[in-house]
């Protein structure tokens, strides 16, 4: 495909805007349709980014013949169903993490992708952040092997807020969303499947109906281990912090930045064409569409992560 790839983006919230900012830097791609629940707010965002078509219904955008691909930045509970709708309409799809909030939903998306041959990818951004790419390249070159990953995923979300501090219309989930990042990344970086997984959770929030604190242990087939601590109660620095402890070095990754074990910064500016993980994720999606190939973090490649999340949910229940 050499023509401009025309995109519909669903979800004009915090993450949708991150994608719009990333796509601005990618040649040969144009967002032509914006879908979100609040029409007035959606019109404001569309005007800012020069997007001509605005709607509150994904079906309106899927009906546009000129739309080649869809990016879904919608509530978790809609991901599987909307991904399926996109592929049924003949559109390539990138869905933000998580692929689904049930194993069955994830399996259905993968099955339809195999049937249609369309590019279907999930936003497992950690595979694309320059910090984690740097570590991945060290592993691929045989210079570093993970012995242990120590990961902290901390937010302060005692009320239902999004990344911009605005009220959310839906409830986020520590296991099916935030743990998905680390479960997938651990297996991906180790190059080895997860063979053992344990979880415990704290009290269920009376209003939100979810656990606000969780602890997960993972073991890969090659012997590497991972300890993941998650909280929506943490009143302090927010985000996810990864400590890679290996046989030859220690690395600390904070989003797109990387440090050694002594907190000395490592230059990752030459790892890829951008320092923005979301932009790099989008670049991979569009490159896969053009080349007619399977992308990194295709729905099939990330499916094992959702099997582990399902197994952990069974333990917690």
The mean of the pLDDT values for the chain is 95
DSSP state of 166: P
Beta strands in 74-160 (DSSP E): 92-96, 120-123, 146-154
Percent of the chain with pLDDT over 90: 90
pLDDT digits (tens, 9 = 90+) for 232-263: 999 988 899 999 999 999 999 998 999 999 99
Residue 101 has pLDDT above 80, yes or no: yes
Q: What is the pTM of this model?
A: 0.94
**What pLDDT sits at residue 208?**
82
Three-class SS string for 23-72? HCCCCCEEEEEEECCCHHHHHHHHHHHCCCEEECCHHHHHCCCCCCEEEE
Pick the closest to residue 129 from 268, 260, 252 (CA basis).
268
| Cα–Cα distance measured from residue 171 to residue 135, given in angstroms and rounded to the nearest whole number | 33
**Above 90 in pLDDT, residue 71?**
yes
Per the document, the length of the chain is 317
The pLDDT value given to residue 162: 56
The answer to whether 289 touches 94, Cβ cutoff 8 Å, is no
Report the candidate in 136, 92, 112 with the shortest Cα–Cα distance to residue 288. 92
pLDDT of amino acid 169:
56
Let me know: does 29 contact 19? Beta carbons within 8 Å.
Answer: no
The proportion of the chain whose per-residue pLDDT surpasses 70, expressed as a percent, equals 95
159 pLDDT more than 90: no
Average pLDDT over residues 82-102: 98
20 φ/ψ angles, rounded to the nearest 5 degrees: -60, -40
By three-state DSSP, how is residue 298 classified?
strand
């Amino acid at each position: 495909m050499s023509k401009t790839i025309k995109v519909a983006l669903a979800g004009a919230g915090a993450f949708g805007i991150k994608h719009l900012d990333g796509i601005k830097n990618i040649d040969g791609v144009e967002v032509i349709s914006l879908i979100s629940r609040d029409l007035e707010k959606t019109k404001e965002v569309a005007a800012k980014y020069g997007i001509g078509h605005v709607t509150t219904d994904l079906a309106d955008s899927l009906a546009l013949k000129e739309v080649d691909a869809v990016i879904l930045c919608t509530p978790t509970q809609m991901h599987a169903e909307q991904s399926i709708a996109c592929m049924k309409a003949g559109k390539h799809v990138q869905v933000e993490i998580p692929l689904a909030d049930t194993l069955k939903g994830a399996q259905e998306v993968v099955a339809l992708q195999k049937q249609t041959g369309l590019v279907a990818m999930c936003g497992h951004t950690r595979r694309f952040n320059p910090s984690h790419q740097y570590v991945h390249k060290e592993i691929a070159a045989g210079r570093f092997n993970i012995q242990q990953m120590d990961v902290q995923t901390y937010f302060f979300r005692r009320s239902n807020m999004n990344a911009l501090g605005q009220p959310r219309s839906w409830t986020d989930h520590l296991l099916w969303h935030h743990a998905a990042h680390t479960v997938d990344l651990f297996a991906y970086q180790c190059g080895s499947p997860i063979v053992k997984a344990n979880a415990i959770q704290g009290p269920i929030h009376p209003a939100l109906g979810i656990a606000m604190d969780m602890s997960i242990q993972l073991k890969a087939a090659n012997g590497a281990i991972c300890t993941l601590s998650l909280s929506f109660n943490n009143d302090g620095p927010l985000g996810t912090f990864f400590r890679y402890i290996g046989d030859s070095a220690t690395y600390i990754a904070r989003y797109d930045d990387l440090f050694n074990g002594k907190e000395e910064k490592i230059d990752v500016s030459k790892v890829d064409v951008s320092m923005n993980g979301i932009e790099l994720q989008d670049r991979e999606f569009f490159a896969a569409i053009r080349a007619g190939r399977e992308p990194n973090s295709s729905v099939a490649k990330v499916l094992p992560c959702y099997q582990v999340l399902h197994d952990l949910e069974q333990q917690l229940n």
